[in-house]
């Protein structure tokens, strides 16, 4: 998994303008990542960020993933101190969105909403490579509900999505966990 | 030729600035700031007075600044870069003294103007350098930087301030660290009232609403965090007083041992733009 360190240019990050510049750098890194691989965005050495920076830099990446940008590769946030984590959590709660982050123990977890995302992430981590119907079976939910949850999981960065052609024809997606500790 | 003369009191010089800014309506050609008796200036005083001088220089043909008579105060203003990059049409009663500067980055931030994202970045590093000797690298120091960063971001995003944001800080051994951000832009009430749903709010109601997370003048998703972030950052500190003034509204958030209390008052004179001051006590 490739790694991008945000802290290369300082210890505090603020303003939407700077958030946009850093986001564009992350997008360039993501463009170099192969499908089914992922990018870890590290906040190592960063003491603090503002909500505006977090929204412009990270939340808008997730908004773009939800629209299909780079959804065939993963994205995970790591090395956050308590302040950065709290600020990013606020950013995602405000947008009612989620991102996957590695906690201090290196375990992937959801930052943001909705609440069922952590259960869905845990099921995906067990399945590793799967289809929507596999997730539906595991969670005892309908395939439609599984598809809805997977949309959120893909945009959060935890899993990559790839179109596959089933033997019977039609359109289907395969999903693969791309969180580094488990990939 | 019409001349406006402003008498600056020995202390709390910022108090006379709102009325003076209101007088800068284009009708006077000369503006005189009589600060000869100034005996003590906080970061908020310095920011407000310098913003006034810059705004007067934009509006009037000539500006006269009567420098403090007391050498120590005159020297202090020079040390705080109050006289730096003064507009060409501003006449000082005395030249700025030549100073033998020592590195005081751990104790003060000289008056500076924030007009861009890069300025905010440089400022954050300065605030961090001032806050760390006081509070270490913990949440207090980070809260300090967050308050100033969020305050200056707001100016860049919304204020349309003709003088940018003026920022200064000073560490005092007895009273703690004081930081100030002053702009002469639209102000919180007018910015929020630009949206139809908030049009009927009074100044104090508008500022109170603007302090809530997610309340924004732009209506865009993800916006409206700035002022709420300033409050929540201040609340993370152990012992601090945050004052936000804008229009006919003043909010004070006082934090002591983890408990925050908010007070609001309606000042007699409207504050131009938005003024934020933070005092972190030792």
Q: Tell me how far apart the alpha carbons of residues B184 and B52 are, in angstroms, rounded to a whole number.
A: 8
Q: Tell me how far apart the alpha carbons of residues B161 and B155 are, in angstroms, rounded to a whole number.
A: 7
Q: Tell me how far apart the alpha carbons of residues B167 and B49 are, in angstroms, rounded to a whole number.
A: 12
- Which parts of A43-182 are beta strand (E)? 48-49, 74-78, 98-102, 108-112, 129-131, 159-164, 172-177
B230 touches chain A (CB under 8 A): no
Q: Which long-range contacts (CB under 8 A, 24 or more apart) does B232-235 make?
A: B233/B143, B233/B146, B233/B147, B233/B150, B234/B143, B234/B147, B234/B260, B234/B278, B235/B260
Terminal C-alpha separation, chain A: 9
- Considering only CB atoms, A94 lies closest to which of B121, B213, B226, namely B213
Q: Encode chain A (183 residues) as per-residue pLDDT tens digits.
A: 899 999 776 889 989 999 999 999 999 999 999 988 999 999 999 999 998 999 999 999 999 988 888 889 999 999 999 889 989 998 998 888 999 999 888 888 999 887 788 899 999 999 999 999 999 999 999 888 999 899 989 988 889 998 887 777 777 899 999 886 554
Q: What is the mean pLDDT of chain B?
A: 90
Chain A residues with CB inside 8 Å of B120's CB?
14-15, 18
A53 within 8 A of A21, measured Cβ to Cβ: no
Are A50 and B146 within 8 A, CB to CB?
yes
Nearest CA among B152, A14, A93 for reference residue A22:
A14
Chain A residues with CB inside 8 Å of B128's CB?
11-12, 47
Beta pairing class for A159-164 and B165-172: unpaired
Give the single-character DSSP code of B270.
Answer: P
pLDDT digits 0-9 by tens, B117-164: 899 988 998 999 888 888 887 778 888 888 888 889 888 888 888 889
Structural domain spans, chain A: 2-177
What's the distance, CA A147 to chain centroid? 17
Q: Tell me how far apart the alpha carbons of residues B21 and B55 are, in angstroms, rounded to a whole number.
A: 8
B212 touches chain A (CB under 8 A): no
Are B153 and A55 within 8 A, CB to CB?
no
The predicted pLDDT at position A183 comes to 46
Architecture of domain B3-92: 2-Layer Sandwich (3.30)
Hunting for tokens 């944001």 — which residue is that? B165
Tokens of B4: 């406006």
Architecture of domain A2-177: Orthogonal Bundle (1.10)
| Beta-bridge partners for A2 | A39
* Helical (H) or strand (E) element with B265: strand B259-265
Task: Using CA coordinates, name the residue in chain B closest to A93.
Answer: B222
Top-level class of domain B104-282 = alpha beta
Hunting for tokens 């004179």 — which residue is that? B269
pLDDT digits 0-9 by tens, B86-121: 999 999 999 988 888 788 887 889 999 999 989 998
* Helical (H) or strand (E) element with B92: strand B90-92
Q: Tell me how far apart the alpha carbons of residues B41 and B12 are, in angstroms, rounded to a whole number.
A: 7
Structural domain spans, chain B: 3-92, 104-282
């Amino acid at each position: 998994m490739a790694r991008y360190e945000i802290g290369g240019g300082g210890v505090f990050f603020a303003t939407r303008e700077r958030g946009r510049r850093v986001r564009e750098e992350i997008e360039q890194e993501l463009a170099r990542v192969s499908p089914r691989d992922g990018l870890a965005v590290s906040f190592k050495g960063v003491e603090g960020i503002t909500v505006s920076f977090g929204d412009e830099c990270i939340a808008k990446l997730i908004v773009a993933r939800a629209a299909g940008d780079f959804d065939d590769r993963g994205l995970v946030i790591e090395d956050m101190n308590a302040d950065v984590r709290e600020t990013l959590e606020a950013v995602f709660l405000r947008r009612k969105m989620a991102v996957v982050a590695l906690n201090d123990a290196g375990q992937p977890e959801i930052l943001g909403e909705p609440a069922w995302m952590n259960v869905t992430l845990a099921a995906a981590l067990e399945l590793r490579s799967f289809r929507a119907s596999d997730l539906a079976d595991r969670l005892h939910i309908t395939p439609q509900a599984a598809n809805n949850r997977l949309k959120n999981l893909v945009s959060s960065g935890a899993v990559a999505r790839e179109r596959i052609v089933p033997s019977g024809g039609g359109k289907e997606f395969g999903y693969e966990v791309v969180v580094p500790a488990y990939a | 030729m019409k001349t406006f003369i402003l008498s600056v009191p020995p202390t709390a010089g910022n108090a006379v600035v709102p009325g003076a800014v209101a007088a800068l309506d284009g009708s006077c050609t000369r503006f005189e700031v009589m600060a000869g008796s100034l005996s003590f200036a906080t970061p908020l005083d310095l920011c407000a007075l310098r913003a006034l001088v810059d705004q007067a220089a934009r509006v009037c043909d000539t500006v006269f600044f009567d420098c403090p008579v007391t050498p120590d105060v005159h020297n202090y203003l020079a040390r705080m870069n109050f006289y730096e990059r003064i507009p060409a049409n501003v006449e000082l009663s005395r030249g700025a003294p030549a100073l033998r500067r020592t590195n005081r980055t751990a104790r003060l931030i000289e008056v500076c103007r924030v007009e861009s994202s890069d300025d905010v970045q440089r400022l954050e590093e300065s605030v961090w350098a001032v806050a760390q000797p006081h509070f270490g690298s913990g949440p207090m120091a980070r809260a300090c930087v967050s308050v100033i960063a969020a305050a200056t971001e707001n100016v860049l995003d919304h204020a349309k301030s003709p003088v940018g944001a003026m920022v200064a800080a000073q560490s005092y051994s007895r009273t703690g660290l004081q930081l100030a951000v002053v702009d002469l832009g639209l102000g919180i009430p007018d910015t929020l009232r630009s949206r139809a749903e908030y049009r009927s709010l009074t100044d104090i109601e508008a500022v109170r609403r603007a302090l809530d997370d997610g309340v924004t003048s732009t209506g865009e998703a993800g916006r409206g965090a700035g002022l709420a972030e300033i409050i929540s950052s201040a609340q993370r500190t152990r012992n601090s007083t945050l004052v936000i003034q804008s229009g006919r509204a003043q909010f004070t958030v006082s934090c002591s041992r983890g408990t925050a209390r908010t007070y609001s008052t309606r000042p007699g004179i409207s504050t131009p733009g938005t003024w934020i001051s933070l005092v972190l006590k030792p």
